[in-house]
Amino acid sequence: MYDFHDDRWIKNIKQIRPAQKEVMLTFDDGPSRKLHPLLDVLKEKEVPAVFFWQSRLLYKQRPWKRVIQEGHVIASHAHNHKNLTTLPKSEQYKQIKTSVDKIRKITGDNVHYFRPPYGQYNEETMDILKELGLLPVMWQIAACDWENKHTPERIVANVVGHCRPGSIILLHELEQTLTVLPQLIDTIRREGFEFALF
């Protein structure tokens, strides 16, 4: 069993730990209705991000072009957010392969990064990722934005003081995340960190 809290594992999946005080923002579970306003904030603040999308939500009409044009990365979060560890290998394969195929078909770009739904994976998942040439990307800081619909200030509090060089921050394409995103970005910068894609 792999344990993503295991530091050796994290070094493995990230390959390079940036020496600079840089962190990376990641948004899971889109593309959602909040995508446009989230992109507006990221553009205004000049912050790049990685979007881990459920491919079932990706249609041609979604603003995927804007995501790419504005310097962000589209990555896979499987097809319909099933816990992969509950599925036989053939079904896991389908979830992952369908998602990267659909993203490539619509955007024309190959997918390089994968984040398993619920952060759950097993050795079979890893075998599939290797076979498909995908790099698993987990996170070090969970902002727990999904738990703070009515208390968005806690999203910022969950991140403040936890950033380290190379930290990957987990966010979602949610209303409350949008509400605090400018403040979150400003606070992280005040702590001396910049935003980058690793």
Residues in touch with Zn ion (CB under 5 A) = 28-29, 117
Least CB distance from residue 146 to Zn ion, whole Å? 9
Alpha-carbon distance 91 to 152, whole Å? 36
Asked if residues 104 and 110 have their Cβ atoms less than 8 Å apart, the reply is: yes
The residue (of 33 and 65) whose beta carbon lies closer to Zn ion is 33
Least CB distance from residue 50 to Zn ion, whole Å? 13
The residue (of 173 and 193) whose beta carbon lies closer to Zn ion is 173
Q: How many CB atoms lie within 10 A of CB 5?
A: 10
Residues in Cβ contact with 33 at an 8 Å cutoff, skipping those fewer than 6 apart? none
Least CB distance from residue 127 to Zn ion, whole Å? 22
The residue (of 32 and 193) whose beta carbon lies closer to Zn ion is 32
Least CB distance from residue 78 to Zn ion, whole Å? 9
How many CA atoms are closer than 13 Å to the CA of 10, on its beta-carbon side?
A: 14
The residue (of 45 and 82) whose beta carbon lies closer to Zn ion is 82
Cis preceding linkage at 136, omega within 30: no
